[in-house]
Every structure is written in C-alpha cells, then in structure tokens.
Amino acid sequence: MSLVLATALVLMLKTYAAVGLLFAIGFARWGAGRLDPVARDGSLGFRLLIVPAAAALWPYLALRLVRGGEAPPEERNAHRTAARRPPHRS
C-alpha cells in the first residue's frame, strides 16, 4: 500500500469520525426522540450511551431522520395477537 493511499484512508476515517461525533451529539439531544418516542424521556446516562453507536451509524440515522423519522412499528407476534382477542367465555 502506498503512503498516499494510506494517508488518504486515514484522512477519510478521521473525517467520518469527526462528522459522526458532531452528528451523534445532536442526535442524542434531539434526534433520538424523533425516531423513537420512548427516547424522548431518556436520561443523561441513556443519551451518553447512544453517542458512540450514533457516531458509528450516523449515515443510516441521518437518512432515517431525513425520510421523516417515524416511530418503529409495533411488533406482531402470537402473544400480542392473543392479548387483543376478547376473553374466552365458556
């Protein structure tokens, strides 16, 4: 690997990390609550915990925010279906 290529790769990685950190700080403060209503009331500890992941995944999270950031769909499984049925009468 040439020195120019290695230098370019390191510069790209530094840029990705710097942009990711800036995005993650704003995402932890404002964006997480837009994507998940439960995160709106998250504590400071929760917000600090999501910063590293948001910094690493910032392109995906930014795309979700731009597309309209909706809450995740409710899980559909047998237990939820059974809970919605009217009680069984014998």
Per-residue pLDDT of 27-59, as tens digits, reads 999 999 988 888 889 999 999 999 999 999 999
What is the pTM (predicted TM-score) of this model?
0.72
* CA-wise closest residue to 25 among 59, 53, 63, 60: 53
Say if residue 13's pLDDT is above 70.
Answer: yes
Say if residue 90's pLDDT is above 70.
Answer: no
**52: Cβ contacts below 8 Å, ≥ 6 apart:** 24
pLDDT, position 87:
78
In angstroms and rounded to an integer, the radius of gyration of the C-alpha atoms of the chain is: 20
Q: How confident is the model at residue 78 (pLDDT cuts 50, 70, 90)?
A: confident
